[in-house]
Amino acid sequence: MTVVMKFGGTSVADPDAISRLTGIVRQQRAKEDDPPLVVVSALAGVTDKLVAVARLAEEGDAARAEAELRTLLERHVSVASAVTSASRAAVLAHVNKEFDELIGLVHALAVLREVSPRSYDAVLAAGEVISSRIVAGALADHRVPAEWVDARRVLVTDAEHNAAVPDMLGTEERVREDVAPRIAAGAVPVLGGFIGAASNRATTTLGRGGSDYSAAIFGAALGVDEIQIWTDVDGMLTADPRIVPQPRVVPQLSFAEASELAYFGAKVLHPSTILPAVAKNIPVRILNSRRPENPGTLITADGAPAGTPLTALACKRDVTVIDITSTRMLMAHGFLRRLFEVFERFKTPVDVVTTSEVSVSVTIDDTRRLEGIVDNLRNFAEVSCEREMAIICAVGENLRADTALFGRAVTALERIPLRLVSQAASRRNITFVLRNTDVPHAMMRLHETFF
Ligand code: ASP
Ligand code: MG
């Protein structure tokens, strides 16, 4: 079984984190015949710092930009020295060389007082170039046959700097030529996430948080059996722990469920970033590098086996409900189009929609243009708004098969005034709209009922 193991910023933040990483990779190496491929983020907080350095360069403040970089250099030198032994001199030479180049680049940018998207990528990419060098050295010094591979020579992208789009065919070819043979020979390739290069060799980045995306791209290109996202939480939870005191870890869920939950701010990973893996039916597992023995959360195309009632709950507070009523809607066509055109004109996304014959209720999150929306709707309908409302969403593929679940959910919320209730066409979720103040109680009732 081949796996991609991606370690996020907190899993490479300091020497302790990197020793945990080496232990985890070594165990994986011992357990399976096929060596894993390792992808790493920059050390926690480093990309943010590099963003600040780029801004200082743009303001022409070379001295402060350089000072920031020297502080970052010190941090990397101290981490690298702590986690390496035989490879220490070589790794430190790489770290120093990268920072020398970066300092030179930042001085040039400060003279020009201009940081183009292309230069910005060159600055940001340093975080992953350096972290991957350090991790490769640490692994090699802990009896893992690691080989550093320059991700910029493997991940081929277009030239859309700061949010580059991968060229999957080009990347597959590079993986076949330069990565797969190393794995076949028993080595563990170590690559930086988030970074790639366009066909003109210019360094590109995939957008903030892009290391998960890199892991999925490499995993899909290699055709691995699993992609592991190592982070600092146990996985996706059945509810927000700030609202429900003891949520459980969701053992398994579908990609579509993960996408529904992501909308509500379940921030463990952004589902679109693992799309290349899911499209190839490769399972993605979220694991905690502080508790590697825990099973984590598995995301697959199909989700949990049938029989699991609900997968998770999510909620979003501070939404506004708009009720739009018009007798002109009765048996007329074109009404909904007119109505939604108003939201389009005011560039305001609508989240939940319910309709009856003479009225439509919608919720919106962004109320900056509410006044204009209401004025326009009043041209053809009666309108009323209610603020301080919330959306609770119960997600589960099984809602489709087990119709009794809907009834159980409504019963659980018996005494709580529900403003809107809707079951989406996908029948993968039930959505309740209620008052902000009823959220904790409603979430607890649902959680007790289903988990
Ligand atoms: N280091 C990059 C960032 O902070 C990419 C990542 O960590 O996923 O956005
Ligand atoms: Mg991340």
pLDDT in tens, the chain (451 residues): 999 999 999 999 999 999 999 999 999 999 999 999 999 999 999 999 999 999 999 999 999 999 999 999 999 999 999 999 999 999 999 999 999 999 999 999 999 999 999 999 999 999 999 999 999 999 999 999 999 999 999 999 999 999 999 999 999 999 999 999 999 999 999 999 999 999 999 999 999 999 999 999 999 999 999 999 999 999 999 999 899 999 999 999 999 898 888 877 667 788 888 989 988 999 999 999 999 999 999 999 888 887 778 999 999 999 999 999 987 766 678 888 999 999 999 999 999 999 888 899 999 999 999 999 999 999 999 999 999 999 999 999 888 888 889 999 999 999 999 999 988 777 888 999 999 999 999 999 999 999 9
pLDDT score recorded for residue 278: 87
CA of 385 to the centre of ligand 2 (A): 37
Probe residue for ligand 1, chosen from 7, 39, 41, 289 as the CB with the greatest number of ligand atoms within 8 Å: 41
Cβ(194) – ligand 1 distance below 6 Å: yes
CA of 302 to the centre of ligand 2 (A): 24
Six token digits for residue 131: 């972290």
DSSP three-state, residue 344 = helix
| Distances in whole angstroms, Cα of residue 42 to Cα of each of 134, 196, 211 | 10, 14, 9
| Dist CA 19 CA 141 (whole Å) | 11
CA of 146 to the centre of ligand 1 (A): 22
Residue 240 burial by CB count (10 A; 0-12/13-18/19+): exposed, middle or buried?
A: middle
The label of the residue with tokens 């195309």 reads: 301
Cβ atoms of 334 and 395 closer than 8 Å: no
Taking CA atoms only, the protein residue closest to ligand 1 atom 8 is: 209
pLDDT score recorded for residue 330: 66
The label of the residue with tokens 């029989």 reads: 307
pLDDT score recorded for residue 260: 83
Which protein residues have a CB closer than 5 Å to ligand 2 (ion)? 8, 209
| Dist CA 322 CA 342 (whole Å) | 13
Cβ(195) – ligand 1 distance below 6 Å: no
CA of 213 to the centre of ligand 2 (A): 9
Cβ(189) – ligand 1 distance below 6 Å: no
Six token digits for residue 205: 């980045």
Cβ(10) – ligand 1 distance below 6 Å: no
Probe residue for ligand 1, chosen from 4, 53, 194 as the CB with the greatest number of ligand atoms within 8 Å: 194
CA of 451 to the centre of ligand 1 (A): 33
CA of 219 to the centre of ligand 1 (A): 18
Cβ(13) – ligand 1 distance below 6 Å: no
Vertex 195 angle, CA 193 and 200, to 5°: 150
CA of 172 to the centre of ligand 1 (A): 23
pLDDT score recorded for residue 438: 97
CA of 210 to the centre of ligand 2 (A): 7
Cβ(209) – ligand 1 distance below 6 Å: yes
Taking CA atoms only, the protein residue closest to ligand 1 atom 5 is: 209
| Dist CA 287 CA 297 (whole Å) | 7
Cβ(207) – ligand 1 distance below 6 Å: no
Probe residue for ligand 1, chosen from 211, 218, 286, 289 as the CB with the greatest number of ligand atoms within 8 Å: 211
Cβ(192) – ligand 1 distance below 6 Å: no
pLDDT score recorded for residue 331: 67
pLDDT score recorded for residue 265: 67
Cβ(213) – ligand 1 distance below 6 Å: no
Residue 116 burial by CB count (10 A; 0-12/13-18/19+): exposed, middle or buried?
A: exposed
Instruction: State the CB neighbour count (10 A cutoff) for residue 252.
Output: 21
| Dist CA 38 CA 148 (whole Å) | 10
Probe residue for ligand 1, chosen from 208, 217, 272, 289 as the CB with the greatest number of ligand atoms within 8 Å: 208
Tens of pLDDT, residues 111-131 = 999 999 999 999 999 999 999
Cβ within 8 Å of residue 134, ≥6 positions away? 12, 18, 76, 79, 80, 83, 84, 91, 95
CA of 43 to the centre of ligand 1 (A): 9
Six token digits for residue 282: 């490769």
Cβ(214) – ligand 1 distance below 6 Å: no
Tens of pLDDT, residues 416-450 = 999 999 887 778 889 999 999 999 999 999 999 99
CA of 46 to the centre of ligand 1 (A): 9
pLDDT score recorded for residue 332: 74
| Dist CA 79 CA 15 (whole Å) | 6
Six token digits for residue 264: 């509500």
